[in-house]
Amino acid sequence: MANITLKDIAHSYTGESDNPEDFALKKLNLTWRDGGAYALLGPSGCGKTTLLNIISGLLHPTRGEVRFDDRDITNQPTEERNIAQIFQFPVIYDTMTVFQNLAFPLKNRGRSGKEIEPRVIELAGILGLEKDLYTKAQHLTADSKQKISLGRGLIRKSVNAILFDEPLTVIDPQLKWELRSQLKFLHKKFGFTMIYVTHDQTEALTFADEVIVMYEGSIVQVGTPEALFEKPEHTFVGYFIGSPGMNVCPCELQKDRILVEGHELVLNSTYETVDPSAKIEVGIRPEHLTLAPPDTNGLPVKIIRVDDIGRHKIVRVAIKEREFNIVASDLSEMTGGMCSLIFDIDHTHMYVNDHLISGERK
């Protein structure tokens, strides 16, 4: 077991190049603490799987180093790294029984049958596969096959880390919950480092102590689920986390005031003057916006649509071309199509070229 450090890692599938566009993974530095539970979150094609494959050694990075504690293992082959990886679609050895499948990683490492058997039986019990232990793996359902894949990842006790590459994609929603809690339980029990790739935010947020959000080959934020929600460091994180995502709206910024479509709002911090040619935006979560009757002190907006999603309503409002989503529970005071939009200024963030800027608190 070890801390895993990625030092100046960059990867291009077409080989070394001067053009940053060629890189699927742009330069990144990151340390995975031993025993941590991490989620790697991002849209499809943002480099999550590339990053995993570099850690497990299936890919050799174009640039940079992978370290286990202080050892540089960039050139070590996968077999010697002692890492387990579970893929999106079940990979099973068709001609073997479930038992043989689970025992395979141990057998390849020369463990004795006496050592293997109790371990396989124990793990099969945890995964709920004990009934099928002596069935050919190819006759099982997709769910069970993926459990076998998971099992092969979990069978070795001494692994440095287990990498999950969207392993629950093919699983039924109900079973997903069950397996997710199983994994959490196993993580607590065995204390392996767990890196979990997903593009499902609920999965990431419930799973991990720390979430790494990736976007277009770069890491845009590393933080706890709360930090991602409360203080997105990049507009992408704002959009991606939360449902609906953060409202991001172009505006003009003057010290502690912003102008949104000609209406002034006073902020709780003072910002230094920024280059006016830059893209300046204000970001606020739908949960931090409230609606008031017209002519209250807020932005005059028109209600376009109300979606009732059960626990609360999502109201879509517009001021000229700009639209905002608001999470509201009670709309009884609203009459007519017009109302005032009130910002919670403690949760209002400013972004310059998509990156969060911090001002001086008043």
Partner 1 sequence: MIAKQVNQKAWFMVLPVFLVVAFSAIIPLLTVVNYSVQDTFGNNQFFWVGMDWFRDLIHSERFHDAFFRQISFSAIILAIEIPLGIVIALAMPKKGWGVPVCLISMALPLLIPWNVVGTIWQIFGRVDIGLLGHTLAAMGIDYNYTQDPVAAWLTIIVMDVWHWTSLVVLLCYAGLCSIPDAYYQAAKIDGASRIAVFRYIQLPKMQRVLLIAVLLRFMDSFMIYTEPFVITGGGPGNSTTFMSIDLVKMAIGQFDLGPAAAMSLIYFLVILLLSWVFFTVMSNIGEESSNGGS
Between 125 and 293, name the residue whose CB sits nearer to partner 1.
Answer: 125
Per CB under 8 A, 356 contacts partner 1: no
Of 7, 39, 354, give the one whose Cα is nearest residue 224. 39
Work out whether strand 23-32 and strand 210-215 pair parallel, antiparallel, or are unpaired. Answer: unpaired
Cβ distance to partner 1 smaller for residue 124 or 228: 124
Contact call for residue 198 and partner 1 (CB under 8 A):
no
Angle formed at CA 262 by CA 261 and CA 268, multiple of 5 degrees: 90
Q: How far is the CB of 80 from partner 1 (least distance, A)?
A: 9
Interface with partner 1, residue 239, by CB under 8 A:
no
Task: Select from 193, 114, 116 the least CA-distant residue to 159.
Answer: 193
**Residue nearer to partner 1 on the CB measure, 111 or 313:** 111
In order of 23, 124, 339, the CA distances from 333 in angstroms are 53, 57, 10
Q: How far apart are the first and last CA of the chain?
A: 47
- Told to check if 119 binds partner 1 by CB under 8 A, we report no
Binding mask 137-176 toward partner 1 (x if CB under 8 A, else -) reads: --x---------x--xx-----------------------
Count of helices and strands (H, E) across the chain: 9, 24
Distance, in Å, from the CA atom of 325 to the CA atom of 249, rounded to the nearest integer, reads 11
Q: Which one, of 236, 216, 202, lies nearest residue 355 by Cα?
A: 236
Q: From 84-92, 221-229, 269-277, 328-336, give the range in contact with partner 1 by CB under 8 A.
A: 84-92
Query: How many angstroms separate the CA atoms of 162 and 182, rounded?
Result: 14
User: Out of 93, 218, 331, 345, which residue is the one contacting partner 1 (CB under 8 A)?
Assistant: 93
The first and second tokens of residue 282, run together, are 């204000």
Q: How far is the CB of 160 from partner 1 (least distance, A)?
A: 12
Choose between 170 and 227: whose C-beta lies nearer to partner 1.
170
Site string for partner 1, 37-76 (x = CB under 8 A): ----------------x--xxx------------------
Closer to partner 1 at the Cβ: 12 or 85? Answer: 85
252-254: strand order across its sheet: 252-254, 257-260, 263-266
Contacting residue, 29, 95, 202, 353, with partner 1 by CB under 8 A: 95
- Binding status of residue 335 toward partner 1 by CB under 8 A: no
Residues lying near partner 1 in the complex (CB under 8 A) are found at 53, 56-58, 77-79, 83-85, 87-89, 91, 93-98, 104-105, 108-109, 131-136, 139, 149, 152-153
